Chain A
């Protein structure tokens, strides 16, 4: 187990034991700004070395993957889980979108083991964040006039996450490896330490949602584990079609399997107010996030290795 995951477990244990450990909200925000920028710059630096045009069809593929995941999650939650239309759509949007924290743990997992991955995975991360939100809203309201699409698009595309990711990518792309050298010691060398602190806070946040789980019943608990497994498999399939390396496959599976807990809940709260936010967050944070970082990522990597070995 990676050392950063131990920090997550510490936060989780402290929260469950009702310790008065509490990190200032401003620290959580600062750490997430750091992580988003660093992930963006890492991707941008790599992209500077390759042609961008061939990436467009790949981008389209992962956007379609995000849409497909949202629709599958919706169908399962609505028909098997008997959730209300609003709750099913809002929760499905969480699962169709991605979690930067989960991605960061995946990147760290590969870095610790010196496994290479393609730079465009960072663009995939940015591209997969938004489509699920749109699909989720359409599933509830249809493409009606009552939705203020312009305001919504502004808030989602220019939200903190996408702005910092794409901004960091642009900086990395323009500056290149030499330009980034002066700030490398802050952003790249400290990445793992910052991620560890961030995961400590994540453990505390997750502990607040674990108590909500009891109210949601076994079906949703099972969904929180089965859905990432299915999404991860589809992510691996998509990655094979795109011809990614083992590292790239692992990360795309991780992205597909991860569920958003920042951008989507905020957008859904405004766009689909009748959905219960505690319900989605309880399974996303209480089940899926811990599952992915504890079990999922190593599992996706093992399957990716076997797939690449089997297909010469």
Chain B
């Protein structure tokens, strides 16, 4: 059986909960139609981000969209946030159903 899937790009951003609101406003402005936000914790170059309280909390934002849009969003957040915030962002190819949604 072959499902009629299509290729899209998944952009994942792991960053400080402190900038959630600002970042989501940016996404809206860049025309992103949907995203998922979840709480996250981990360790990286900026130390342990263990979410023990709001000051050290991380979030993970996931966006599925066409490749060009994912790249322009990634470019924007790289310019605006990479220098000053704890942030990891990456792209992955994914296969989806219901192509009109993404």
Name A residues whose Cβ lies closer than 8 Å to a Cβ of B: 22, 25, 28-29, 155, 201, 204-205, 208, 261-262, 265-266, 269-270, 273-274, 277-278, 281
Contacts and interface: CB of A to CB of B under 8 A. Distances in A.
Interface of B: 16, 18-19, 21-22, 47, 50-57, 81, 83-85
A208 B49 CA distance: 11
Given A273-B84, A274-B84, A278-B47, A204 B52 contact: yes
Contacts of A266: 18, 54-55
Contacts of A273: 81, 83-85
Chain B CB within 10 Å — which of A155, A204, A262, A269 has the most? A269
B53 A28 contact: yes
Contacts, number: 42
Contacts of A155: 21
A205 B19 contact: no
A155 to B, nearest CB: 7
Chain A CB within 10 Å — which of B16, B50, B84 has the most? B84
Given A270-B22, A273-B85, 17 more contacts: A22-B52, A25-B53, A28-B52, A28-B53, A29-B54, A204-B52, A208-B52, A262-B54, A262-B55, A265-B18, A266-B54, A266-B55, A269-B19, A273-B81, A273-B83, A277-B55, A281-B55
B76 to A, nearest CB: 15
B18 A270 contact: yes
Contacts of B54: 25, 29, 262, 266
A24 to B, nearest CB: 9
Contacts of B57: 25
A28 B52 CA distance: 9
B96 to A, nearest CB: 33
A261 B84 contact: no
Contacts of B85: 269, 273
A130 to B, nearest CB: 18
A24 B76 CA distance: 35
A155 B57 CA distance: 18
A270 B81 CA distance: 10
Nearest to A201: B53
Nearest to A285: B55
A270 B19 contact: yes
B18 A205 contact: no
Nearest to A266: B18
A161 B92 CA distance: 39
